């Protein structure tokens, strides 16, 4: 197997990627923010001296959490350094994955990757919990995507992912 890709990321791709990567944090902020706003209601209803103040603090913190949840992914996608948007090249073969750009070059064995995420924008090869390599799906043909997925260790594939045997296209539920 040998797959060579060249691609250039854009801001729309970055925002889509970070929306996917930030979904857990965003969901937690939405849940906590909504809970704090709901908890503030009883404080406004009771007529003690400090209750409206406590209710206002809960509502304010809840609203801030909801605001941060809405802005997280977009802000992360827009704050990427300029070299992240420069032309990049990746080479996949049976032994290694090689990454090259204007500012960096690295090579990893396939065994380094611990898991794989599939989203609408990218194939995300994870190294541990926080580090990842993203491969834009727009840079891959269907045949290349199938070849890459078949080459990945089975332990790293998401449980909901499978290959459709009829048309050999990858399908999954994110």
Predicted confidence (pLDDT) per residue in 147-168, tens digit:
887 777 654 555 444 444 444 4
Determine contact, residues 96/108, Cβ cutoff 8 Å: yes
Pairing of strands 105-109, 115-118: unpaired
Q: What are phi and psi of 138, to 5 degrees?
A: -70, -20
Question: What fold, for 2-9+83-171?
Answer: PH-domain like (2.30.29)
Q: Which helix (H) or strand (E) holds 9?
A: none
Closest CA to 88 of 152, 145, 134: 134
**pLDDT of amino acid 158:** 53
User: CA Rg, the chain, in Å?
Assistant: 22
What 8-state DSSP symbol labels residue 96? E
Tokens (6 digits) for 113? 């990757």
**pLDDT of amino acid 156:** 54
Tokens (6 digits) for 137? 């799906």
**pLDDT of amino acid 90:** 94
Across the beta sheet with 96-101, the strand order is 2-7, 88-93, 96-101, 105-109
Q: What are phi and psi of 172, to 5 degrees?
A: -160, 165
> CA–CA separation, 58 vs 38, rounded Å?
9
**pLDDT of amino acid 74:** 64
Residue ranges for the chain with pLDDT beneath 50: 155, 159-174
**pLDDT of amino acid 168:** 44
**pLDDT of amino acid 154:** 56
**pLDDT of amino acid 160:** 43
């Amino acid at each position: 197997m040998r797959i060579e890709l060249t691609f250039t990321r854009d801001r729309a791709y970055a925002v889509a990627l970070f929306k996917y990567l930030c979904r857990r944090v965003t969901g937690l902020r939405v849940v906590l923010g909504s809970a704090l706003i709901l908890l503030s209601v009883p404080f406004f209803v009771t007529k003690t001296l400090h209750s409206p103040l406590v209710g206002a603090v809960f509502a304010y913190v809840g609203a801030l959490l909801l605001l941060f949840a809405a802005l997280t992914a977009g802000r992360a996608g827009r704050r990427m350094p300029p070299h992240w948007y420069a032309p990049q090249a990746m080479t996949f073969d049976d032994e290694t994955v090689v990454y090259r750009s204007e500012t960096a070059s690295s090579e990893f064995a396939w065994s380094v990757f611990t898991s794989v995420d599939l989203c609408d924008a990218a194939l995300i090869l994870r190294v541990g919990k926080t580090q990842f390599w993203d491969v834009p799906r727009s840079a891959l043909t269907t045949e290349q995507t199938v070849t890459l997925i078949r080459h990945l260790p089975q332990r790293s594939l998401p449980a909901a992912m499978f290959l459709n045997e009829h048309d050999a296209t990858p399908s999954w539920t994110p």
